[in-house]
Structure formats: structure tokens, C-alpha cells
Structure 1
Amino acid sequence: MRISASFDAGSIRVVSLDEESGVIHLEIPNDHQSEFAQWFYFRLEGAAGETCELHFDNAASCAYPEGWVDYRVVASYDRENWFRLPTEYDGKVMSLSVTPEHDLMYFAYFEPYPWERHLNLISTAQMHPDCRVHHLGETLDGRDLDVLQIGEDADHKRVVWLTARQHPGETMAEWFVEGAVQRLLDPADTLARELLEWAVFYIVPNMNPDGSCRGHLRTNAAGVNLNREWANPTMERSPEVYLVREAMRETGVDLYLDAHGDESIPFNFVAGSEGNPGYHAGRAELETLFKQVWLATNPDFQVKHGYTPDQFGEANMTLSTNHVADYFDCLAYTIEMPFKDNFDWPDEETGWDGERSRQFGASVLFPVAAVLRRLGKKA
């Protein structure tokens, strides 16, 4: 019997493993040079047919301990089909009991989005005649930071930016982007074809390649939370933000969406720029329209549960949504999805997962289209 996390995005620390009793004590490691700890991904080997008890001893001291309430661990045998396991949290330790059916069983905080799948997404998208790949630069670990340009740029076209995985452990965000990209590139989708007639999309599927591969929850290779860097990013500390922000300033932005996952709130929701010093009635009108259309087209979206809006003038301007909203005076939304399940439409087997995130991403084109229609083509 053995625990291993020596693979892409793997993360776990073994405290003790008793083969005779099957009791395994684990700890979730911190991100490198950071206090954040919540992401885990590992495999259990050689326990087929044996009942094992897994205890995450430091659950209460993780970044978001409230995230363990009503949470269920994700597991898989083939790393393609993921399912949820009954999980308990007593306020200190998170535990589960499992009898593996095969020699290898994988466990994760959420369904992973592998680096190879990311590379495949980029490579497959570029084969479409409406898509180009731009290399923005390199991360601190030397990985490529790419942006997909979908649609041809033109003077009359609006510019839409979509980013994901500033927080690398929020893998649902890249599943979301995959759904949006695939729909935009579907020649049989009339809405996508219409959108590309009067808008160009710039999409960064993974803002944090280093953190993703290292198995981090929220930070890059330097232990930096990228979504607190937008006011003053540097190539030494946060090249990912610096490079994307510079590209935005070259293209301009008319609509910006940033995809995330929330550890505690079991619903899909958006967070806007209400607390920004530059917030005004026109932006509020577009935010309302966006929400109304998404509510009407996808039951997985809701507006009853979410973050309490900042008071006017009190927003944290280091966040991407707030920075972009005021710098470009545009609609900017943070999209949040659950690590647990969508409690409005729960799924006992999978909870909220990659496929549901992908479908949710495809559906975002409806509110995007409504906002762009309201804005109209550029003069």
C-alpha cells in the first residue's frame, strides 16, 4: 500500500500509513512560499479490496476550512471519469472510508484539468480558421503563456477578454473556458457565428501554468496570488498578470470575464465592480442585463447567493475585475463556480464537475451576446 503525488498537479503529504489497519493520515501542503493550502491530488496504490480510512489531519488549518462543510472528495480510477465519495468533517479533521475496486485509485479536491489537456485545447483550437494563438511570454518556471484570438480584429468589432485559473487549483475555470472555446469554434452554432461577425475574443485558458503544474491552490511559482497583482504587476513577481495586462492595453477591452471557483458557496454566481470609484449607472445596466439573460437561459446560474457587493469606492483595485472595469470603463465580471455542488441542481454522483463547468462555459455566450448587442458595433 502506497500514496503517491509525483505527477502533474499532484499534492499531498503522508503523515502515517498503517497497512494492517488501513488507516492513513494525510496533510494538505501549502503552496510554495505561501500560506495557502487546500488543493490535493494523489493516488492510492495496492489497496484493491481493502477498506481504507483517509484522514486529512490539517483540514481545519487550511485556507478555507468552511469549504469542507458539505464537501465530498472527488475520486477516479481512470482519471477520465470522476465521482464523489461520502466525506465527513468534524471541524478539525476531514475523513472518508473507501474500499478501492482496483490497484490504483485517484483522489482530488476537484476534477483536475491536466496540463496535457491544456496543450491539446490550444493546439486543437489553432486548427480552426477563425483562431490564432499568440505567445505572450514565459512564466517564472519557463512555461508558455498563450492567448487564443478567436475572430478577426476589425475597427467595428467589440473586444471580449476571458481569463481563467489565476488561482490554479480552481480547475473548473479551465473546464468553463473549454466549453466557451468549443462553442465559439463550432461552425454549426449560429450564435457563435453571429458573435464572430461583430466581436473578437481573446481567451487565456490558464493564467497560472506554474501553479497548475506544481499543484497549488492560489499562487504562482513565487507564491504570489495573481488576482491581487493587477494594480502593479512586475515581470519578476507576477509576469503572468503583467503580460496579459499589457496585451489588454494593446487591444482594448469592451467586456471582460474572469472564471474562478469558490470553496464555500455551493452555487454559480457573478461578482461585479459595484465598489469601484468609476462605477456608474451605465455599467450597472449592463450588469443587470448580463444576469437577466443568463438566468433566462441556464438554470445553473442564480443571483440569490454570492458575495456581498463592496460599498461604492471601497473595492480592492488589485483584483482583475475591478482593475479592468475602471481602466477600460467596461463591464467586467468574476464568474464563480462551486467546488462542492450546485445545491439548486445537485448531482449525487458527480457533484459540480468538469463537464457541468464546460457546459456552463458554453452557455455564457448568451449573456455575452446580449451585452454586445446593447453596446452595438463600434463607430
Structure 2
Amino acid sequence: MFITAQFDSGNIEVIEANEPSAIQLAIRKDNESDFYQWFHFKLYAEPGVEHVMTITNAGKSAYPDGWKDYSALASYDRETWFRVPTEYNGKELVIRHSPDQESVYYAYFTPYSYERHMDLIQWAQQSIECEHVLLGPTLDGRDMNLLVVGEPADHKAKIWITARQHPGESMAEWFMEGFLSRLLDDEDGAARKLLETCVFYIVPNMNPDGSVRGHLRTNAAGVNLNREWAEPSLEKSPEVYYVLNAMQETGVDFYLDVHGDEALPYNFLAGCEGVPSYNDKTHQLGEQFKQVLLSITPEFQTQYGYEIDKPGEANLTVASNAVSERFNCLAFTLEMPFKDNANLPDVDFGWSANRSQQFGADVLSAIYGIANSLRS
């Protein structure tokens, strides 16, 4: 028996692994930070034997409510990820699994590797509609990639979509893959029509360093990027610094920041009601977007979500609020679950990479539904 996390996005510390029935583990904190919750490790084991893996520090993680009704994911081939029996006792997370094969991977959610991220960027730039822009290097020296889809023109609406500011929220990049697959499909009528009147600026991964390091919430310097949008810096948050500068050059008519929520088992939107510039036009446009999305997919709902900010009380260090106020535009944070969609549960897979991809494709239809109103 052997456990390792020495690979892209790996995260686990082995406390004890002498007996299959008593494996003791701990999740490593983000670098220079107290955040932790993401785990991803590989077990070499005897097939057919139940392995009981206890994550001893789960109760003190960033979002302990996220463990309630949660089931860990496992995979033999790193392609198909399925849920395995998992219990939370208020202090420890216990994963029980009898592997069918000699080695198996476990993760908090289906990983989206940096290798796949690079493949996504190179695939996208093959499209005649897509320009690949290098914004600059991260603190660890990785690329900050921007995909510009559509021919820029003054009359076109500028739509910005960013994902994975929090690297452990890997469902956000699966969403982006689904969105891009449809946007770059030259036989998709909605995509073709949208590109006549809109140009898309897409950052599939805002935090590549944290993604590779196996972080939950921060970049290489231990900084939560979604609290840096008031005054980003090259020293602490170059990722936000580059993107915000690019936004200044293009302008923004609609902004979507894609995330995952540890605790709530639903897909939902958090709006910008609390920013000083919020007005009736923004409200009506936002309601229109929600209604279109509700009509497209049962995966979306509006009953559950975050508490709405009171007027003038929005946190302007948060991306969607900061962008909405700076550019006087409609902006949302889109959240997906780590667990499952409680309104449409799937006992085997829960909320999954495939469902995230499909949701990304569906959101393109919702943007199509409001596109003509963005600049009116």
C-alpha cells in the first residue's frame, strides 16, 4: 500500500498508512495561507480490500459545511470519476472504498489538469474566430492566457468571462470547456449569430499556479484573487492585474465570473445589486438573463443562493462587483456545486465534469437571449 500526491494538483499528507482499515491523512494548506479543502491523491492498494481513509483535519477546513452530504470522487483511468461512500462526523471525513484495480485516484472534484488547460488553449486558437493573447507570466512563471473570440469592433458588445480564480473549483474550467466548444462550433447557429454582434474575452483559468500546486483558494503567494479587484498588484496578484488592464482597454458590457460553492448543492447566480451604480436597467437585464437560463435547463434555479447585498454595501474587491461598478455593466458570479444538484440528483456521479460542460454550453444560449439588449 502506498499513497502519493506528487503530481499536478496533488494534495494530501500521509499521517499513517500501515493498515487498509486505518489510513490517516491530512489536507495540506495553500501556500502562505490557512485555506485548505481541495484534496487529490493516488492509492496503490490490494484490489477487493476495503480501504478506510480518514482525513483528520476536515473539520477545520475552509468550509466544513461543505463536507455535509458530500461524497468523494474516485477514478481508475482519470477520465471517468464516480462517487464513493463518504461520511463526515463533524471533525473527520471518512472515505470507504474497495478498489477493483491496483491503483485508484481520489479527488475533491474531478480535476482539470494544467496539461488539459494548455491543450484547451491550443485547440481554441485553431479556430479562425479565435485569437490567443498572452497577458503575461504568473508568479510561478506560467502563462496567463486570454482567448478573444470574434472580430473586435466598436459596435459590438464586449462580453468577458473568467473562471477558476479559486483553483480548487475545477468545475469552473470544465464549464469553460463546454462554453468554448459551443462558441467555436461554426455549425452552431446561436454562436454564429452572437459573433455578429458580440466579441468574447475568455480567461479559462485565472489561477494556473494555484491549480498546479493543489490549492483550494489562493495563488502562489497565498492571495485570494477574488479579493484583489480594487487594487491588484504585479507583486501579489498579477493574474488580476493583467486581466483588469485588458478590460480597461476593451471595455465591458457583460461579465461572468465562474466558480464552485462548497456548501450549497445548487447552481445559482450572485448579482451586483449592492454596487453604487446598480440601476433599474441592470436589474431588468439581469432578471431577463435568469429567466432565459431557467427556461433552458433544469440545472439552474433562483430559490437558493447567497444573501443579496443591500444598496451601496457590495464588497468592491470582489470581481463581479468591481467590474460592474467600474464599467457600469451587468455582472454575475456563477456558482456550481461540489456535491450534486439537489434538484436533479445523480447518485453515481453527483455534479460532474460532464454536467459542468453542458451547463457552460447552455449559458451561451442565455447570453444569446440578452445580447441585443446589452448596449441598448
TM-score (norm 1): 0.98
- Rounded to whole Å, the distance in 2 between the matches of 1:200 and 1:85 is 42
Q: CA deviation at 1:367?
A: 1.7
Q: CA deviation at 1:248?
A: 0.4
Point out where structure 2 has 5 or more consecutive residues left out of the alignment.
none
More displaced stretch, 63-72 vs 276-285? 276-285
Q: Provide the residue aligned with 2:336 in structure 1.
A: 337
Q: State, as a whole percentage, how many aligned pairs show the same letter.
A: 55
**3-state SS of the aligned residue for 1:6?**
coil
- Rounded to whole Å, the distance in 2 between the matches of 1:305 and 1:86 is 26
Q: Provide the residue aligned with 2:90 in structure 1.
A: 91
Q: Provide the residue aligned with 2:192 in structure 1.
A: 193
| Equivalences for residues 151-230 of structure 1 within 5 A | 151-230=150-229
Q: Provide the residue aligned with 1:246 in structure 2.
A: 245
Is the contact between residue 147 and residue 201 of structure 2 (CA under 8 Å) also seen in structure 1?
yes
- Deviation per residue, 1:261-302 (Å, 9 max, x gap): 000000000001011111111110111001000000111000
Q: CA deviation at 1:47?
A: 2.7
Query: Aligned letter for 1:9?
Result: S
Is the contact between residue 22 and residue 50 of structure 1 (CA under 8 Å) also seen in structure 2?
no
- Rounded to whole Å, the distance in 1 between the matches of 2:113 and 2:274 is 35
- Rounded to whole Å, the distance in 2 between the matches of 1:184 and 1:96 is 39
- Rounded to whole Å, the distance in 2 between the matches of 1:97 and 1:185 is 42
Query: Aligned letter for 1:115?
Result: Y
Query: Aligned letter for 1:297?
Result: I
**3-state SS of the aligned residue for 1:253?**
coil
**3-state SS of the aligned residue for 2:269?**
strand
Q: CA deviation at 1:375?
A: 2.7
Is structure 2 residue 262 aligned with structure 1 residue 257? no
- Rounded to whole Å, the distance in 2 between the matches of 1:373 and 1:349 is 40
- Deviation per residue, 1:218-252 (Å, 9 max, x gap): 00000000000000000000000000000000010
- Deviation per residue, 1:53-80 (Å, 9 max, x gap): 1101111000000000000000000000
Q: Provide the residue aligned with 1:354 in structure 2.
A: 353
- Rounded to whole Å, the distance in 2 between the matches of 1:273 and 1:331 is 7
Q: CA deviation at 1:96?
A: 2.1
Is the contact between residue 253 and residue 375 of structure 2 (CA under 8 Å) also seen in structure 1?
no
Q: Which consecutive aligned stretches of 4+ in structure 1 deviate over 6 angstroms post-superposition? A: none
Q: CA deviation at 1:376?
A: 4.8
Is structure 2 residue 16 aligned with structure 1 residue 16? yes
- Rounded to whole Å, the distance in 2 between the matches of 1:268 and 1:96 is 25
Q: Provide the residue aligned with 1:126 in structure 2.
A: 125
Query: Aligned letter for 1:307?
Result: Y
Is the contact between residue 135 and residue 146 of structure 1 (CA under 8 Å) also seen in structure 2?
yes
Is the contact between residue 254 and residue 374 of structure 2 (CA under 8 Å) also seen in structure 1?
no
Q: Provide the residue aligned with 1:150 in structure 2.
A: 149
- Rounded to whole Å, the distance in 2 between the matches of 1:108 and 1:156 is 45
- Rounded to whole Å, the distance in 2 between the matches of 1:68 and 1:46 is 25
Q: Provide the residue aligned with 2:293 in structure 1.
A: 294
Q: Provide the residue aligned with 2:50 in structure 1.
A: 51
Q: Provide the residue aligned with 1:5 in structure 2.
A: 5
- Deviation per residue, 1:57-113 (Å, 9 max, x gap): 111000000000000000000000000011111111111221111111100000000
- Rounded to whole Å, the distance in 2 between the matches of 1:203 and 1:151 is 11
What count of residue pairs does the alignment treat as equivalent? 376
Q: CA deviation at 1:49?
A: 2.1
Q: CA deviation at 1:370?
A: 1.9
**3-state SS of the aligned residue for 1:364?**
helix
**3-state SS of the aligned residue for 2:263?**
coil
Q: CA deviation at 1:46?
A: 2.8
- Rounded to whole Å, the distance in 2 between the matches of 1:375 and 1:319 is 22
Query: Aligned letter for 1:158?
Result: A
Q: Provide the residue aligned with 1:279 in structure 2.
A: 278
Q: Provide the residue aligned with 2:316 in structure 1.
A: 317
- Rounded to whole Å, the distance in 2 between the matches of 1:157 and 1:210 is 33
Q: Provide the residue aligned with 1:139 in structure 2.
A: 138
Is the contact between residue 339 and residue 352 of structure 1 (CA under 8 Å) also seen in structure 2?
yes
- Rounded to whole Å, the distance in 1 between the matches of 2:366 and 2:272 is 17
**3-state SS of the aligned residue for 2:133?**
strand
Point out where structure 1 has 5 or more consecutive residues left out of the alignment.
none
More displaced stretch, 364-373 vs 285-294? 364-373
- Rounded to whole Å, the distance in 2 between the matches of 1:337 and 1:155 is 33
What is the root-mean-square deviation of aligned Cα atoms in Å? 0.9
- Rounded to whole Å, the distance in 2 between the matches of 1:365 and 1:6 is 37
Q: Provide the residue aligned with 1:327 in structure 2.
A: 326
**3-state SS of the aligned residue for 1:355?**
helix
TM-score (norm 2): 0.99
Query: Aligned letter for 1:10?
Result: G
**3-state SS of the aligned residue for 1:147?**
strand
- Rounded to whole Å, the distance in 2 between the matches of 1:233 and 1:155 is 27
